[in-house]
Amino acid sequence: MQHTALQGDDDDRAPVETEQSQRLDADSVPGLGVSGEPLSRTELEAAFAMFGTPETAKRGESAEAPYRAEGPFDCEPANDAAAETRRMPALHARGLHIDPSAPIQFIKAVDWLVIAAAAEAAARWGAGASLAHMNIGDALPFVVSACALKAGLWLTDAYDADPGAVRADRALGGLTLGAFIAILCANALAPSARGAGALSAVLPVAAMALAGFHAALGVWTRAAHKNGVFAETIVLIGATAAAARFAARAAKSGDARVIAIADDRLQRAPFAIGTIAVGGDIDALLAWPGLPHVDRIVIAVTPNAEARVRDLIARLKTLPNQVDLLMDYEAKGVQGRGADRLAGAAVACISGRHRNAGRAALKRAQDVVIGGALLVLLALPMLAIALAVKFDGEGPVLHRQRRHGFNNCVFTALKFRTMQRGVRVTRVGAYLRRTGLDNLPQLINVLRGEMSLVGPRPHDVGLQIANRDLTDVIAEYAHRHRVKPGITGWAQLNGACGQPQAAACVRKCVRLDLEYIARASLLFDLRILARTAIAPFLKHGRS
């Protein structure tokens, strides 16, 4: 009976002796059989093949030459050093990714716009005036009747759907119900028959327009979902059965795209799980250039292995990426702070925080609007500064430096040159540094999306303190990269160093940066911008 591979490992320790070997061992005399008669030439070559025979020696062959198999082979190589060479996949840029909640938020916004337009049209037709020119009592029937369309969508849970499950029939049912409620409200609340007639004519048309919009956007959303537009980029930690189940669910649902698997016990790990390569250990992951383009790192080791999980968390929590622990059971009933659903599985947020799409969009709009306005207003002063820098010494007007940005991405930060040949601060440069005007070209970085107006100041790539990486000085250093770096920030307003030169300065900078990240809001950003604008005048007044 044949043995499996695992059973064969045990069988190899106690091989079954053949009749021929029994005869050789019994006599303990080379070349003689059980009866004492000489063995044949074939038997002698078989018995002494491992040492070679005179015939093989004459031909100049090694002893194992007749038994060496020639490739190629389909089986995996032995578990030697060459076979253990693994690499994380190449990931040079983040592909197109849209937040999964964006389509529903966009639909909600368009619904409100159409409802507002319908109420305004009904008011102009039924009452002969705009809603803005009517008193509250006269305008209320038109507003309430139009909002009934929205109520129908809420009652049918038309907004409660993932990108891959957006269906036009649910929205059609909600809008039909909403139109029916709207007509009832119009006849009950309208101040006149003309107003009721206007509402009864306009609102069903608005409902049909919204139904067509929901259907068209639903078709696009489902197609985009199949192409992975809404999928988060995931790296799994642990080549386990739970990781295989999660990867299969993610591939089926399209909610996540697992691009690699890393394992802290690489010697025991397979080379791949399905089509996903097990690319390396934790050290390889931490040194991986593609890590800034990863949305989440999910630990797929069973939570029961507490010591192993604690060690993994301790090593991964210093990354700016969100780190989750896979609970490996259905997530429909999972609720509470830190609990989330991902590809149909339950995950617990260990480090980092969930990205707030609304907050991110608002901050980006703030950067584009205010940053663009500042660039236009300061264009002439920046041109004057550029001319002054040009005539103050040799060298380019702009100084370009590689710095760490969001999620540790490296970008080129722009500044006005303040030094002569990198060793001496120029007269113009000293003034620019003192006032912070050397950072004005970074408005271009803001419009590019590499920086924000407000955030932690970006530090130089490879910056060290006393020959130590900054992550060795303070474990939470990488957490400041969970937001875009800024031209100004809370740390700078409170006296933290721009490019820290001592460990104490690094700790103060990180503490203030993390405080900003925890308190970040539109009003807080505006407050920091206002204080930055008046800071040079305050310093001048004190001096």
Same domain, 364 and 348: no
Asked if residue 129 is part of any domain, the answer here is yes
Could you identify the residue written with the tokens 């896979």? 326
The confidence score (pLDDT) of residue 75 equals 39
| Residue 267 burial (C-beta neighbours within 10 Å; 0-12, 13-18, 19+) | exposed
More confident residue, 216 or 472: 216
- State the total domains in the chain: 4
Same domain, 186 and 149: yes
Q: How many CA atoms lie within 13 A of 287 on its CB side?
A: 7
Helices (H), 190-240: 193-226
Asked if residue 281 is part of any domain, the answer here is yes
More confident residue, 302 or 80: 302
Q: For strand 296-299 and strand 232-237, is the pairing parallel, antiparallel, or unpaired?
A: parallel
421: left (phi over 0), alpha (psi -120 to 50) or beta: left
Residue ranges with strand state E in 88-194: none
Burial 224-248 (b: 16+ CB within 10 A, else e): bbeebbbbbbbbbbbbbebbbbbbe
Asked if residue 313 is part of any domain, the answer here is yes
| Residue 81 burial (C-beta neighbours within 10 Å; 0-12, 13-18, 19+) | exposed
Same domain, 338 and 369: no
Prior bond of 72 cis (ω within 30°): yes
Asked if residue 388 is part of any domain, the answer here is yes
Asked if residue 96 is part of any domain, the answer here is no
The confidence score (pLDDT) of residue 170 equals 81
Whose CA is closest to 171, among 147, 146, 154? 154
Whose CA is closest to 152, among 111, 191, 193? 111
Same domain, 488 and 369: yes
Whose CA is closest to 87, among 279, 297, 225? 279
Same domain, 331 and 247: yes
Phi, psi at residue 151, to the nearest 5°? Answer: -60, -40
Asked if residue 417 is part of any domain, the answer here is yes
Q: Is the pLDDT of residue 122 over 90?
A: yes
Mean residue pLDDT of the chain comes to: 78
Same domain, 209 and 286: no
Helix (H) or strand (E) holding 452: strand 452-454
* The length of the chain, given as a count of residues: 543
Same domain, 244 and 347: yes
More confident residue, 277 or 57: 277
Same domain, 119 and 208: yes
Asked if residue 38 is part of any domain, the answer here is yes
Where among 226, 249, 264 does a domain terminate?
226
Query: Containing domain of residue 46, as a range?
Result: 14-67
CA distance 378 to 435: 15
Residues 278/263, Cβ–Cβ less than 8 Å: yes
Cα dihedral 291, 447, 493, 318 in deg (nearest 10): -10
CATH number of 320's domain: 3.40.50.720
C-beta neighbour count of 327 within 10 angstroms: 16
Where among 314, 339, 354 does a domain terminate?
354
Same domain, 284 and 188: no
Q: Is the pLDDT of residue 342 over 90?
A: no
Confidence of residue 67 (pLDDT cuts 50, 70, 90): very low
The confidence score (pLDDT) of residue 28 equals 41
Where among 354, 384, 412 does a domain terminate?
354
DSSP string over 402-421: EEE-GGG-EEEEEEE--EET
Same domain, 366 and 485: yes
Please state the rounded mean pLDDT for residues 398-425. Answer: 86
Confidence of residue 94 (pLDDT cuts 50, 70, 90): low
Same domain, 297 and 256: yes
Instruction: Provide, rounded to the nearest whole percent, the portion of the chain with pLDDT above 70.
Output: 77
Burial 338-369 (b: 16+ CB within 10 A, else e): eebebbbbbbbbbbbeeeeeeeeeebeebbee
More confident residue, 300 or 50: 300
Asked if residue 89 is part of any domain, the answer here is no
Same domain, 267 and 181: no
